[in-house]
Structure 1
Amino acid sequence: MDYSVGLAQNQRVLKQRNALGIAVLVLLGLVVLLFTLGATRDREVVLQPILRNPLSISSSGVSADYLEMVTRDTALIALNRSPENLNYWMDSILEIAAPEAHGALKRDLMKVVQEQGGSSISQYYTIDSMTVDPDRLTSEVSGTLHTVVGSKAVTAEVKRFRFIWKYSGLSLQLRGFGMVKPADQDEMGRAL
Protein backbone atom coordinates (compact mmCIF):
# COMPACT_ATOMS: atom_id res chain seq x y z
CA MET A 1 0.00 0.00 0.00
CA ASP A 2 2.86 2.37 0.78
CA TYR A 3 4.23 1.59 -2.64
CA SER A 4 1.01 2.69 -4.39
CA VAL A 5 0.82 5.97 -2.37
CA GLY A 6 4.46 6.75 -3.17
CA LEU A 7 3.88 5.97 -6.84
CA ALA A 8 0.85 8.30 -6.93
CA GLN A 9 2.83 11.12 -5.33
CA ASN A 10 5.68 10.60 -7.79
CA GLN A 11 3.22 10.72 -10.70
CA ARG A 12 1.73 13.95 -9.37
CA VAL A 13 5.18 15.57 -8.95
CA LEU A 14 6.13 14.40 -12.43
CA LYS A 15 2.99 15.98 -13.94
CA GLN A 16 3.66 19.26 -12.09
CA ARG A 17 7.28 19.27 -13.28
CA ASN A 18 6.23 18.64 -16.89
CA ALA A 19 3.55 21.38 -16.73
CA LEU A 20 6.09 23.82 -15.28
CA GLY A 21 8.60 22.90 -17.98
CA ILE A 22 6.02 23.51 -20.73
CA ALA A 23 5.05 26.87 -19.16
CA VAL A 24 8.71 27.93 -19.02
CA LEU A 25 9.22 26.98 -22.68
CA VAL A 26 6.09 28.90 -23.76
CA LEU A 27 7.17 32.02 -21.82
CA LEU A 28 10.70 31.77 -23.21
CA GLY A 29 9.24 31.57 -26.73
CA LEU A 30 7.12 34.66 -26.07
CA VAL A 31 10.13 36.61 -24.76
CA VAL A 32 12.17 35.70 -27.84
CA LEU A 33 9.25 36.71 -30.08
CA LEU A 34 8.82 40.07 -28.32
CA PHE A 35 12.53 40.86 -28.52
CA THR A 36 12.53 40.00 -32.21
CA LEU A 37 9.53 42.25 -32.88
CA GLY A 38 11.06 45.06 -30.82
CA ALA A 39 14.38 44.88 -32.63
CA THR A 40 12.87 44.88 -36.11
CA ARG A 41 10.26 47.54 -35.45
CA ASP A 42 10.76 50.96 -37.07
CA ARG A 43 11.96 53.65 -34.73
CA GLU A 44 10.81 57.21 -35.03
CA VAL A 45 12.73 60.26 -33.93
CA VAL A 46 11.14 63.68 -34.20
CA LEU A 47 13.71 66.21 -35.35
CA GLN A 48 13.23 69.89 -34.81
CA PRO A 49 15.79 71.57 -37.05
CA ILE A 50 14.92 75.07 -35.84
CA LEU A 51 16.17 74.46 -32.30
CA ARG A 52 19.44 76.03 -31.26
CA ASN A 53 19.85 73.80 -28.18
CA PRO A 54 18.86 70.26 -27.29
CA LEU A 55 15.47 70.32 -25.62
CA SER A 56 14.22 68.21 -22.77
CA ILE A 57 10.95 68.30 -20.90
CA SER A 58 10.83 67.52 -17.20
CA SER A 59 8.07 67.22 -14.65
CA SER A 60 10.08 69.49 -12.33
CA GLY A 61 9.38 72.56 -14.46
CA VAL A 62 9.45 74.12 -17.88
CA SER A 63 12.74 75.32 -19.41
CA ALA A 64 13.16 78.86 -20.68
CA ASP A 65 13.92 77.60 -24.21
CA TYR A 66 10.76 75.51 -24.34
CA LEU A 67 8.64 78.37 -22.96
CA GLU A 68 10.14 80.70 -25.57
CA MET A 69 9.36 78.35 -28.46
CA VAL A 70 5.80 77.72 -27.32
CA THR A 71 5.25 81.45 -26.76
CA ARG A 72 6.57 82.26 -30.22
CA ASP A 73 4.27 79.77 -31.89
CA THR A 74 1.27 80.77 -29.77
CA ALA A 75 1.86 84.49 -30.43
CA LEU A 76 1.98 83.86 -34.16
CA ILE A 77 -1.28 81.93 -33.99
CA ALA A 78 -3.07 84.31 -31.61
CA LEU A 79 -2.02 87.61 -33.15
CA ASN A 80 -2.30 86.82 -36.86
CA ARG A 81 -5.85 86.53 -38.13
CA SER A 82 -8.10 87.33 -41.03
CA PRO A 83 -11.83 86.82 -41.66
CA GLU A 84 -11.03 83.69 -43.69
CA ASN A 85 -9.28 81.84 -40.87
CA LEU A 86 -11.26 82.88 -37.78
CA ASN A 87 -12.62 79.43 -36.97
CA TYR A 88 -9.20 77.79 -37.36
CA TRP A 89 -7.68 80.64 -35.32
CA MET A 90 -10.12 80.14 -32.45
CA ASP A 91 -9.87 76.33 -32.50
CA SER A 92 -6.05 76.48 -32.48
CA ILE A 93 -5.98 78.69 -29.41
CA LEU A 94 -8.58 76.60 -27.58
CA GLU A 95 -6.61 73.40 -28.24
CA ILE A 96 -3.71 74.67 -26.12
CA ALA A 97 -5.89 76.28 -23.45
CA ALA A 98 -5.94 74.99 -19.88
CA PRO A 99 -9.28 73.33 -19.04
CA GLU A 100 -10.11 75.89 -16.34
CA ALA A 101 -9.48 78.81 -18.75
CA HIS A 102 -11.28 77.27 -21.70
CA GLY A 103 -14.67 78.90 -21.07
CA ALA A 104 -13.38 82.44 -20.52
CA LEU A 105 -11.03 82.22 -23.51
CA LYS A 106 -13.79 80.89 -25.76
CA ARG A 107 -16.12 83.70 -24.70
CA ASP A 108 -13.49 86.35 -25.52
CA LEU A 109 -12.51 84.69 -28.79
CA MET A 110 -16.15 84.40 -29.87
CA LYS A 111 -16.50 88.19 -29.47
CA VAL A 112 -13.61 88.67 -31.90
CA VAL A 113 -15.08 86.14 -34.34
CA GLN A 114 -18.44 87.93 -34.27
CA GLU A 115 -16.87 91.39 -34.65
CA GLN A 116 -14.41 90.46 -37.38
CA GLY A 117 -16.44 87.84 -39.26
CA GLY A 118 -17.67 89.08 -42.63
CA SER A 119 -15.38 92.12 -42.56
CA SER A 120 -12.26 92.72 -44.61
CA ILE A 121 -10.06 93.55 -41.58
CA SER A 122 -6.95 91.43 -41.05
CA GLN A 123 -4.07 91.77 -38.66
CA TYR A 124 -0.57 90.38 -38.44
CA TYR A 125 2.12 90.73 -35.81
CA THR A 126 5.86 91.01 -36.26
CA ILE A 127 7.79 90.04 -33.12
CA ASP A 128 10.72 92.29 -32.16
CA SER A 129 11.60 90.80 -28.76
CA MET A 130 10.46 88.29 -26.22
CA THR A 131 10.96 87.75 -22.50
CA VAL A 132 10.07 84.57 -20.65
CA ASP A 133 9.84 83.81 -16.94
CA PRO A 134 9.70 80.05 -16.40
CA ASP A 135 9.36 80.49 -12.63
CA ARG A 136 6.20 82.60 -12.89
CA LEU A 137 5.06 80.83 -16.09
CA THR A 138 4.63 84.07 -17.97
CA SER A 139 6.02 85.34 -21.23
CA GLU A 140 5.79 88.56 -23.19
CA VAL A 141 6.28 89.46 -26.80
CA SER A 142 6.89 92.95 -28.10
CA GLY A 143 6.46 93.90 -31.70
CA THR A 144 4.38 95.71 -34.28
CA LEU A 145 0.71 94.96 -34.76
CA HIS A 146 -0.28 95.71 -38.35
CA THR A 147 -3.93 96.23 -39.32
CA VAL A 148 -4.98 95.79 -42.93
CA VAL A 149 -8.38 96.69 -44.41
CA GLY A 150 -8.89 95.04 -47.77
CA SER A 151 -5.44 95.32 -49.30
CA LYS A 152 -4.50 98.63 -47.66
CA ALA A 153 -2.34 98.80 -44.53
CA VAL A 154 -4.14 101.06 -42.06
CA THR A 155 -2.07 101.02 -38.86
CA ALA A 156 1.21 99.70 -37.54
CA GLU A 157 1.44 100.09 -33.75
CA VAL A 158 4.06 98.82 -31.33
CA LYS A 159 2.30 96.54 -28.83
CA ARG A 160 3.31 94.18 -26.05
CA PHE A 161 1.35 91.04 -25.23
CA ARG A 162 1.57 88.84 -22.14
CA PHE A 163 0.87 85.11 -22.09
CA ILE A 164 0.11 83.29 -18.85
CA TRP A 165 0.75 79.56 -18.70
CA LYS A 166 -0.01 76.50 -16.60
CA TYR A 167 2.44 73.59 -16.40
CA SER A 168 1.23 70.30 -14.99
CA GLY A 169 2.84 66.96 -15.57
CA LEU A 170 4.57 67.46 -18.88
CA SER A 171 1.93 69.69 -20.43
CA LEU A 172 2.21 73.46 -20.95
CA GLN A 173 -1.24 75.04 -21.34
CA LEU A 174 -2.41 78.58 -21.99
CA ARG A 175 -4.34 80.19 -19.13
CA GLY A 176 -4.76 83.57 -20.80
CA PHE A 177 -3.21 86.30 -22.88
CA GLY A 178 -3.73 89.96 -23.56
CA MET A 179 -2.17 93.28 -24.41
CA VAL A 180 0.03 94.88 -21.76
CA LYS A 181 -1.04 98.47 -21.15
CA PRO A 182 1.53 101.10 -20.13
CA ALA A 183 -0.07 101.25 -16.65
CA ASP A 184 0.82 97.56 -16.21
CA GLN A 185 4.56 98.26 -16.51
CA ASP A 186 6.99 99.25 -13.79
CA GLU A 187 9.42 102.19 -13.93
CA MET A 188 11.95 100.17 -15.93
CA GLY A 189 9.42 99.56 -18.70
CA ARG A 190 9.14 95.90 -17.81
CA ALA A 191 5.64 94.47 -17.57
CA LEU A 192 4.58 93.47 -14.09
Structure 2
Amino acid sequence: MDLSYQHAQGQRILRQRNMLGIAAVVLAAAVALLLLMSATRSREIVLQPILRSPVTVSSAGVSRDYLEQITRDVALLTLNRSPNGLDYWMESILAIVSPRAQGKVKADLLKIVDEQRGSSIAQFFSIQSMQIDTDNLRSRVTGELTTIAGQQVISREHRTFRFDWDYSGLELKLVGFGMEKPATKGTAE
Protein backbone atom coordinates (compact mmCIF):
# COMPACT_ATOMS: atom_id res chain seq x y z
CA MET A 1 0.00 0.00 0.00
CA ASP A 2 2.87 2.31 0.68
CA LEU A 3 4.24 1.70 -2.80
CA SER A 4 0.99 2.57 -4.58
CA TYR A 5 0.55 5.65 -2.41
CA GLN A 6 4.09 6.86 -3.16
CA HIS A 7 3.60 6.16 -6.85
CA ALA A 8 0.37 8.24 -6.92
CA GLN A 9 2.10 11.02 -4.97
CA GLY A 10 5.02 11.00 -7.42
CA GLN A 11 2.64 11.17 -10.43
CA ARG A 12 0.82 14.13 -8.89
CA ILE A 13 4.11 15.98 -8.32
CA LEU A 14 5.20 15.23 -11.90
CA ARG A 15 1.92 16.67 -13.25
CA GLN A 16 2.39 19.80 -11.14
CA ARG A 17 5.98 20.15 -12.38
CA ASN A 18 4.88 19.73 -15.99
CA MET A 19 2.08 22.29 -15.57
CA LEU A 20 4.53 24.74 -13.95
CA GLY A 21 6.98 24.18 -16.82
CA ILE A 22 4.26 24.87 -19.42
CA ALA A 23 3.18 28.03 -17.55
CA ALA A 24 6.82 29.22 -17.41
CA VAL A 25 7.25 28.68 -21.16
CA VAL A 26 3.97 30.54 -21.93
CA LEU A 27 4.96 33.47 -19.67
CA ALA A 28 8.46 33.63 -21.18
CA ALA A 29 6.94 33.74 -24.68
CA ALA A 30 4.55 36.52 -23.59
CA VAL A 31 7.43 38.56 -22.12
CA ALA A 32 9.48 38.09 -25.29
CA LEU A 33 6.52 39.19 -27.43
CA LEU A 34 5.92 42.27 -25.26
CA LEU A 35 9.61 43.21 -25.40
CA LEU A 36 9.60 42.86 -29.18
CA MET A 37 6.46 45.00 -29.49
CA SER A 38 7.81 47.74 -27.20
CA ALA A 39 11.14 47.83 -29.04
CA THR A 40 9.53 48.25 -32.47
CA ARG A 41 6.68 50.55 -31.47
CA SER A 42 7.04 54.19 -32.54
CA ARG A 43 6.98 56.82 -29.83
CA GLU A 44 5.57 60.33 -30.03
CA ILE A 45 6.69 63.37 -28.12
CA VAL A 46 5.05 66.76 -28.60
CA LEU A 47 7.70 69.41 -29.13
CA GLN A 48 7.01 73.11 -28.95
CA PRO A 49 9.31 75.55 -30.70
CA ILE A 50 12.09 77.02 -28.56
CA LEU A 51 10.91 76.63 -25.00
CA ARG A 52 12.96 78.15 -22.22
CA SER A 53 11.62 75.80 -19.56
CA PRO A 54 9.87 72.42 -19.39
CA VAL A 55 6.14 72.74 -19.93
CA THR A 56 3.48 70.43 -18.59
CA VAL A 57 -0.15 70.26 -19.58
CA SER A 58 -2.74 69.69 -16.89
CA SER A 59 -6.49 69.30 -16.81
CA ALA A 60 -6.45 71.81 -13.93
CA GLY A 61 -5.72 74.67 -16.34
CA VAL A 62 -3.09 76.43 -18.40
CA SER A 63 0.18 77.39 -16.75
CA ARG A 64 1.39 80.96 -17.05
CA ASP A 65 4.62 79.90 -18.80
CA TYR A 66 2.77 77.84 -21.38
CA LEU A 67 0.27 80.61 -22.16
CA GLU A 68 3.09 83.14 -22.43
CA GLN A 69 5.13 80.99 -24.79
CA ILE A 70 2.17 80.10 -26.98
CA THR A 71 1.09 83.76 -27.09
CA ARG A 72 4.59 84.79 -28.17
CA ASP A 73 4.62 82.31 -31.04
CA VAL A 74 1.05 83.04 -32.13
CA ALA A 75 1.60 86.81 -31.98
CA LEU A 76 4.59 86.52 -34.28
CA LEU A 77 2.67 84.20 -36.60
CA THR A 78 -0.41 86.40 -36.85
CA LEU A 79 1.31 89.79 -37.03
CA ASN A 80 4.15 89.03 -39.44
CA ARG A 81 2.95 88.65 -43.01
CA SER A 82 3.90 89.38 -46.59
CA PRO A 83 1.91 89.08 -49.83
CA ASN A 84 3.81 86.04 -51.11
CA GLY A 85 3.02 83.91 -48.03
CA LEU A 86 -0.63 84.79 -47.42
CA ASP A 87 -2.10 81.32 -48.05
CA TYR A 88 0.37 79.64 -45.71
CA TRP A 89 -0.17 82.44 -43.16
CA MET A 90 -3.95 81.93 -43.17
CA GLU A 91 -3.74 78.10 -43.01
CA SER A 92 -1.28 78.27 -40.11
CA ILE A 93 -3.55 80.55 -38.11
CA LEU A 94 -6.66 78.47 -38.82
CA ALA A 95 -4.82 75.35 -37.61
CA ILE A 96 -4.62 76.79 -34.07
CA VAL A 97 -8.11 78.31 -33.96
CA SER A 98 -10.84 76.65 -31.94
CA PRO A 99 -13.49 74.92 -34.09
CA ARG A 100 -16.20 77.12 -32.58
CA ALA A 101 -14.42 80.28 -33.81
CA GLN A 102 -13.24 78.97 -37.21
CA GLY A 103 -15.95 80.70 -39.25
CA LYS A 104 -15.53 84.19 -37.83
CA VAL A 105 -11.74 84.09 -37.81
CA LYS A 106 -11.61 82.69 -41.36
CA ALA A 107 -13.91 85.46 -42.60
CA ASP A 108 -11.67 88.10 -40.99
CA LEU A 109 -8.53 86.50 -42.41
CA LEU A 110 -10.04 86.28 -45.91
CA LYS A 111 -10.69 90.04 -45.84
CA ILE A 112 -7.02 90.66 -45.03
CA VAL A 113 -5.85 88.21 -47.71
CA ASP A 114 -8.11 89.81 -50.35
CA GLU A 115 -6.87 93.31 -49.45
CA GLN A 116 -3.22 92.38 -49.42
CA ARG A 117 -3.00 89.90 -52.32
CA GLY A 118 -1.10 91.38 -55.27
CA SER A 119 0.22 94.30 -53.24
CA SER A 120 3.76 94.90 -52.07
CA ILE A 121 2.75 95.67 -48.48
CA ALA A 122 4.25 93.57 -45.69
CA GLN A 123 4.23 93.98 -41.95
CA PHE A 124 6.23 92.74 -39.02
CA PHE A 125 5.84 93.05 -35.28
CA SER A 126 8.49 93.47 -32.60
CA ILE A 127 7.28 92.38 -29.14
CA GLN A 128 8.14 94.76 -26.31
CA SER A 129 5.92 93.49 -23.48
CA MET A 130 3.28 90.93 -22.70
CA GLN A 131 0.46 90.65 -20.14
CA ILE A 132 -0.88 87.18 -19.35
CA ASP A 133 -4.22 86.49 -17.63
CA THR A 134 -4.51 82.74 -17.02
CA ASP A 135 -7.84 83.09 -15.20
CA ASN A 136 -9.62 84.64 -18.20
CA LEU A 137 -7.37 82.95 -20.79
CA ARG A 138 -6.46 86.28 -22.35
CA SER A 139 -3.11 87.71 -23.29
CA ARG A 140 -2.03 91.13 -24.48
CA VAL A 141 1.08 91.78 -26.51
CA THR A 142 2.48 95.28 -26.93
CA GLY A 143 5.13 96.24 -29.41
CA GLU A 144 6.02 98.05 -32.58
CA LEU A 145 4.09 97.22 -35.75
CA THR A 146 6.05 98.17 -38.85
CA THR A 147 4.41 98.35 -42.28
CA ILE A 148 6.54 98.26 -45.41
CA ALA A 149 5.52 99.00 -49.01
CA GLY A 150 8.12 97.65 -51.38
CA GLN A 151 11.34 98.56 -49.60
CA GLN A 152 10.11 101.71 -47.91
CA VAL A 153 8.84 101.85 -44.32
CA ILE A 154 5.47 103.59 -44.43
CA SER A 155 4.56 103.35 -40.74
CA ARG A 156 5.85 102.39 -37.32
CA GLU A 157 3.19 102.30 -34.66
CA HIS A 158 3.13 101.31 -31.01
CA ARG A 159 0.23 98.82 -30.77
CA THR A 160 -1.34 96.36 -28.35
CA PHE A 161 -2.97 93.16 -29.57
CA ARG A 162 -5.32 90.91 -27.60
CA PHE A 163 -5.46 87.12 -27.90
CA ASP A 164 -8.39 85.16 -26.44
CA TRP A 165 -8.01 81.45 -25.76
CA ASP A 166 -10.14 78.40 -25.04
CA TYR A 167 -8.83 75.51 -22.95
CA SER A 168 -10.82 72.34 -23.45
CA GLY A 169 -9.60 68.96 -22.28
CA LEU A 170 -5.85 69.35 -22.62
CA GLU A 171 -5.94 71.54 -25.70
CA LEU A 172 -5.36 75.29 -25.89
CA LYS A 173 -6.98 76.90 -28.95
CA LEU A 174 -7.27 80.48 -30.17
CA VAL A 175 -10.83 81.85 -30.21
CA GLY A 176 -10.09 85.41 -31.25
CA PHE A 177 -7.51 88.12 -31.62
CA GLY A 178 -7.38 91.75 -32.59
CA MET A 179 -5.84 95.12 -32.07
CA GLU A 180 -6.92 97.05 -29.00
CA LYS A 181 -7.84 100.64 -29.58
CA PRO A 182 -5.29 103.05 -28.12
CA ALA A 183 -6.50 105.08 -25.17
CA THR A 184 -7.39 108.65 -26.08
CA LYS A 185 -5.98 111.49 -24.04
CA GLY A 186 -7.72 111.91 -20.72
CA THR A 187 -9.25 108.40 -20.62
CA ALA A 188 -7.95 105.17 -19.16
CA GLU A 189 -8.09 101.75 -20.85
TM over 0.5: yes
Shift, 1:29, TM fit: 1.2
Equivalence for 2:79:
79
The amino acid of 1:159's aligned partner reads R
Q: What 5-or-longer segments of structure 1 have no aligned partner?
A: 1-13
Specify the SS of the correspondent of 1:38.
Answer: helix
Task: Tell me, in whole angstroms, the C-alpha distance in 1 between the residues paired with 2:177 and 2:35.
Answer: 48
Shift, 1:126, TM fit: 0.3
1:117 aligns to 2:117 (yes or no): yes
1:129 aligns to 2:129 (yes or no): yes
Equivalence for 2:164:
164
Task: Tell me, in whole angstroms, the C-alpha distance in 1 between the residues paired with 2:69 and 2:41.
Answer: 32
Equivalence for 1:4:
none
Task: Tell me, in whole angstroms, the C-alpha distance in 1 between the residues paired with 2:25 and 2:104.
Answer: 60
Shift, 1:157, TM fit: 0.2
The amino acid of 1:97's aligned partner reads V
Shift, 1:27, TM fit: 5.5
Equivalence for 2:66:
66
Task: Tell me, in whole angstroms, the C-alpha distance in 2 between the residues paired with 1:109 and 1:71.
Answer: 18
Q: Which moved more, 1:28-37 or 1:74-83?
A: 28-37
Shift, 1:35, TM fit: 2.6
Change (3 A) 1:99 1:40: closer
The amino acid of 1:99's aligned partner reads P
The amino acid of 2:120's aligned partner reads S
Q: What 5-or-longer segments of structure 2 have no aligned partner?
A: 1-14
Specify the SS of the correspondent of 2:53.
Answer: coil
Task: Tell me, in whole angstroms, the C-alpha distance in 2 between the residues paired with 1:115 and 1:102.
Answer: 20
Q: Residues 35-114 of structure 1: matches in 2 within 5 Å?
A: 35-38=35-38, 50-114=50-114
Specify the SS of the correspondent of 1:85.
Answer: helix
Task: Tell me, in whole angstroms, the C-alpha distance in 2 between the residues paired with 1:126 and 1:146.
Answer: 8
1:136-165 per-residue CA deviation (whole Å, 9 max, x = no partner) reads 100010000000000101100000000000
Shift, 1:59, TM fit: 1.0
Q: Residues 25-44 of structure 1: matches in 2 within 5 Å?
A: 25-26=25-26, 28-38=28-38
Change (3 A) 1:113 1:128: same
TM-score normalised by structure 2 residue count: 0.79
The amino acid of 1:82's aligned partner reads S
**Identical positions, percent:** 55
> What is the Cα-based RMSD across aligned positions, in Å?
2.9
Task: Tell me, in whole angstroms, the C-alpha distance in 1 between the residues paired with 2:109 and 2:30.
Answer: 54
Change (3 A) 1:136 1:41: same
Specify the SS of the correspondent of 1:182.
Answer: coil
Equivalence for 2:6:
none
